[in-house]
Amino acid sequence: MGSQESHGPEHVFCCLCCREPRTLIRFKTTLMNTLMDVLRHRPGWVEVKDEGEWDFYWCDVSWLRENFDHTYMDEHVRISHFRNHYELTRKNYMVKNLKRFRKQLEREAGKVEAAKCDFFPKTFEMPCEYHLFVEEFRKNPGITWIMKPVARSQGKGIFLFRRLKDIMDWRKGTVGKKLTIVETQPNRASVNPSGSHDTKNSDDQKDEIPVENYVAQRYVENPYLIGGRKFDLRVYVLVMSYIPLRAWLYRDGFARFSNTRFTLNSIDDHYVHLTNVAVQKTSPDYHPKKGCKWMLQRFRQYLASKHGPEAVETLFSAMDNIFIRSLQSVQKVIISDKHCFELYGYDILIDQDLKPWLLEVNASPSLTASSQEDYELKTCLLEDTLHVVDMEARLTGREKRVGGFDLMWSDGPVSREEGPSDLSGMANFVTNTHLGCINDRKEQLRQLFRSLQVQKKAPG
C-alpha cells in the first residue's frame, strides 16, 4: 500500500512536474455504464481483466474495503476512493464530523465562524441518540421528521413521521426487538485518537451489528418549489488530496424533481418527498425520455430571472461554503493516500429563503444515464475527471481550470483572478467557482493542451 505523506502545495507542483509522461495506461473497473464508455474511448488506455496488473482502478467501495490494505501500489497508480471515505459519505459519520468541526470552530474562531457550519438539518443517530432525539421532538410537537438508513442509497428505507409511535412501530417491524433492548448495544464504531472511526469496527464488521443504524433528521418543510414540485441539486466535487486539501468543482450538475406536486398532507407518498431518480422512475406517470431533471445552467438562469443575479450569487456562494466546510470537517480523519482521488456527488436542498441545506454526500454518485442529456453530462464529467487525475502526466499542477472543473481550494481558497491562487486577504477576492455557468470545456481543453505542448517544446 502507498504511504500516507503530508506535503505542501509546492511539493504537489514539484511531484506533478517530475512525473514521467505515460502513453499506455492499463485500467480496470467493474462498472458497466457511462464510465466504461469513457475509459474505453480514451486514447492510450487499455482495459485489464481479472488479475492483470493495472495503473488505474475505478473500483467499488466493497473492493476497497476488502483489498486496499493488502494491495501494493507503484508511485503512479491511482484508485477512485479514499480508504475511509465513509467519514464523509455515511450519513451518521458526516453529521458527527460536522458537529465536531463546528465545536472546534467555535472554540478557535468564535460563534460567527462556527455559524458557517449551520447548513445541515438537526440530526440524531438512531438508536444511540434516541433519548436526545425524544427531548428535541417534544420541544417542537407536530413538525415533520425524516428517517434515513445511514448506509443505503437511492431512497431505500427512508420514511417521514410526526409521531413517536411511528418509530416504535418501525423498530418492531424492522428488527423484531424493542428499542430499549437495542439501546444497550455498544456503539457501532470505536474512535481512534485522531477522532476518526476505527475501520475494522465501523466498516468491515457492519454485518455483525444486530440493528441497522438510521439518522432521524428534521425535515425541511419549506422547500423551494418550481412548478409546485420539490427538487434537490446534484453537484460534483473532485478531491485529489486531503493533506493538503485540493478540491475541484464541476460547472455542470442537475436539479432532480419529484414527479408529484409538493404537499405536507401526504407524508407517506415517496413520489412527493423523495427526488431520487431510482424512486421517481417507478412513478406511474414518469416519462423516460423527459425524465425529471434540469441542468444546473437552466436552474441558475431561472433563479436569476425570478430573484435577480445578486440573490443567486449569494446562494451559490453559500453552496461553495458547504463544499469546503464539509471537506474540512473530515480533513484530519480521512487517510490522505497519494494514490487516491474521489468524485463526490453532493445533494443540496434549497428552501424558500434561498438557503442551501446539505442532505448527503455520495461516494459513488450514479454514473448511469437517465436520458441523452444526462449521458452527455456524465460523459463530459468523467472525461474531465480523468484529465484532472492526469495519468498521462501532461499537467503542470498550476492549472486553475481543466475542462469543466475549476480548482476551488488548494490548501486555501483559490482566486478567480489570474496570478497567485491565494488572494483571500484582498477585499475584492472572488472564489474560483462557476457552478451553473457556461461550460465551454471543449474550447478550454483545446487551448490548455495546446499551451502545454508549447511549454514542453520550449527550451528549458
C-alpha to C-alpha distance for 139 and 118, rounded to whole angstroms: 20
Residue 341 burial class via C-beta count within 10 angstroms: exposed 0-12, middle 13-18, buried 19 and up:
buried
DSSP notation for 246-296: EEEEES--EEEE-SS---SS-TT-HHHH---HHHHTTSTT--TTTTTEEEH
Residue with cell 437511492: 154
Q: Give the 3-state secondary structure of residue 407.
A: strand
Per-residue tens of pLDDT for the chain, all 460 residues: 333 333 333 344 444 445 567 779 999 998 888 999 999 999 999 999 878 899 999 998 888 889 888 888 999 999 999 999 999 999 899 999 999 999 999 999 999 999 999 999 999 998 889 899 899 999 988 899 888 887 665 556 788 888 888 777 666 655 433 333 233 333 333 334 344 444 433 333 333 334 578 888 998 989 999 999 889 999 999 999 999 999 999 999 999 888 878 676 766 555 444 555 544 444 556 565 555 889 999 999 999 999 999 999 999 999 999 999 999 999 999 998 999 999 999 999 999 999 999 999 999 999 988 888 999 999 999 999 999 999 999 999 999 999 999 999 999 999 988 755 455 555 567 899 999 999 999 999 999 999 988 877 766 5
Residues contacting 418, CB < 8 A, separation 6+: none
C-alpha to C-alpha distance for 352 and 152, rounded to whole angstroms: 28
- Name the amino acid, one letter, at 26: R
Q: What is the pLDDT of residue 410?
A: 96
Do 405 and 435 contact (CB within 8 A), yes or no? Answer: no
Residues contacting 435, CB < 8 A, separation 6+: 235, 249, 250, 251, 253, 296, 300, 316, 319, 320
Cα R_g (the chain), whole angstroms: 22
Q: What is the pLDDT of residue 361?
A: 95
pTM for this entry: 0.85
Residues contacting 91, CB < 8 A, separation 6+: 123, 148, 150, 151, 215, 360
Q: What is the pLDDT of residue 4?
A: 31
Q: What share of the chain is helix, strand, coil (3-state, %, to 5)?
A: 35, 20, 45
